[in-house]
Amino acid sequence: MKNLKGLSKSSLFFTALIVIAVIILFIYIASPFATHMFTEETVKKVYFADHISPVYQELIKEFNEQNKGEIEIVPVHLPFEKFTTNERKEILSRYLRSNDIVDIVSIDQIWVPRFAKWAEPLDIPFEKYVKDSLLSIALKSCYYQGRLVSIPTHLDVAVLYYRSDLLKHLSGTLSPESKLNNSITWEEFIEQGELAAKLSNPFYIFQADDYEGLVCSFLEMLHSQGKDLYENGELRLDTPEAHKALQTLADFVHKNRISPPSVSELRENNGNNFFMSNNAIFLRGWPSFLKEFEKDTLHKETLKNLKIAALPHFKNGKPANILGGWNFMISKYSNHKPEAVKFVKFMLSRKVQTRMFEARNTMPVIKAIYQDKAFMDKEKNLAYFYRLLDNGFHRPFIEDYTKNSDIISYYLYKAVKNQITVDSALKSASEKIRLGQVLIR
């Protein structure tokens, strides 16, 4: 009693508050509702930014069910229909700069050098995958300055689609089996296109809007001549090979007339639709094109006659198919890196990679699928895409590539539109890049 009397009223008040708080906390923890809430708080929420396609939704749901009570993947949907590639790039950059918004991002492989400063090094957690499981050509896009900073999710390789039913009506010498599959020359292709000029069908559809797809066509023609965009780290657009590449693209529209002027308005999606709706004969495309129209009843018969071939190459040159694809990158600011790694490994499993191929027709990145003879014998298109990797090449993995590519695409576009000469386009792009200017459209 002596001690109690010695306490001040203020001390008694705070002591009572502490006792009451402890009792309330005990009751809260003991209640069924509190148990549920406590369990919820122990779940590691991993935020994943990508175009969340239906197959991704299924896979995320499956992963979450397998890891219920421990990990939850929270999708951040960036639909391709709403955001351009450049807009996605800027949104993801803002997310990563903000430190704690996302844990995993899906990035175009050519963004790796630009995004590397925000990436968690993955050499140790994926050491076994790099050594034993993943295609080496897919891994080439995943390194920056000797560090593994991303993991491939799928590959793309540029291909040539053609209508076998329409090709039969041409009077030239193109044979789908003996020539097209092994890459004919651009010279042969142009000659055939000029012979087909009397037909009402457009001959060749390529994507020539002011964007990366046009740069890809230009680089393919450059690479076919044994040249790269950069030599010893320096941009080279002042070469005869660069001139020939761009002049060929412009001549498709204005001299040879094997491509309609409207190609300058086309990117992947509307280009694919134009090809199908206008009964064109050839299309430069990607493996996913077939899946896009699989459920399209309007073009059901057309799909039956669609075949795949290699892109043409220049005479005395070599076949060249540019590679694309997307990678997963884990933010170095993530508070849930082990959980993020677990999800990426889940996405690299053979079962998941096969499901993604079946849903989107994109190329898997794990060796085991291509080593399965029975599977590859059944999937003839995938076997052909895999064969084309022998002539595949990546775009330059440098930090300024995307910025420079924006400038190059603008001037290539103006040349294909016949608004400026080929020489002027190449000189203007070189000068603007040399001066470090930013393109304002």
d(CA 429, CA 416): 14
Report the share of the chain in percent with pLDDT over 70: 88
Q: Is the Cβ–Cβ distance between 112 and 400 less than 8 Å? A: no
- Number of Cβ within 10 Å of residue 150's Cβ equals 29
Using CB atoms within 10 Å of the CB of residue 351, give its burial: 0 to 12 exposed, 13 to 18 middle, 19+ buried: exposed
pLDDT at residue 27, as a whole number: 41
**In this structure, are residues 311 and 183 in contact, taking their beta carbons and an 8 Å threshold?**
yes
**Is 275 inside any structural domain?**
yes
Domain that holds residue 97: 42-157+324-393
Residue 374 falls within a domain, yes or no?
yes
Question: Which pLDDT score is estimated for 195?
Answer: 83
Q: Are residues 104 and 242 in the same domain?
A: no
**CATH code, domain with 70:** 3.40.190.10
Same-domain pairing of 243 and 370? no
The string of pLDDT tens digits covering residues 66-119 is 999 999 999 999 998 888 888 899 999 999 998 778 999 999 999 999 999 999
pLDDT grade for 262, boundaries at 50, 70 and 90: very high
- Least confident among 21-25, 121-125, 235-239, 414-418: 21-25
- DSSP 8-class letter at 142: G
Rounded to two decimals, the pTM is 0.86
- Establish if 17 belongs to a structural domain: no
Q: What share of the chain is helix, strand, coil (3-state, %, to 5)?
A: 55, 15, 30
Question: Cα separations (Å) of 297 from 54, 300, 320, 357?
Answer: 20, 5, 34, 22
Interatomic CA distance for residues 102 and 49, integer angstroms: 7
Mean pLDDT, range 233-241, rounded to an integer: 94
The residue assigned the tokens 């037909």 is 199
Q: What is the three-class DSSP state of 108? A: strand
Residue 376 has a CB neighbour count (10 Å cut-off) of 14
DSSP per-residue letters across 293-326: TTT-GGGHHHHHTEEEEPPPB-TTS---EEEEEE
Specify the range with the lowest mean pLDDT, choosing from 35-49, 240-254, 265-279, 325-339: 35-49
* pLDDT score, position 31: 42
Residue carrying the six token digits 């027709």: 361
Kindly state whether residues 139 and 225 are assigned to the same domain: no
Which residue spans within 222-364 are E strands per DSSP?
A: 230-231, 234-235, 282-285, 306-309, 321-330
pLDDT, tens digit, 9 for 90 and up, residues 140-195: 999 999 999 999 999 999 999 999 888 887 765 565 566 888 999 999 999 999 88
- Helix, strand or coil, per DSSP, at residue 210: coil
Structural domains counted in the chain? 2
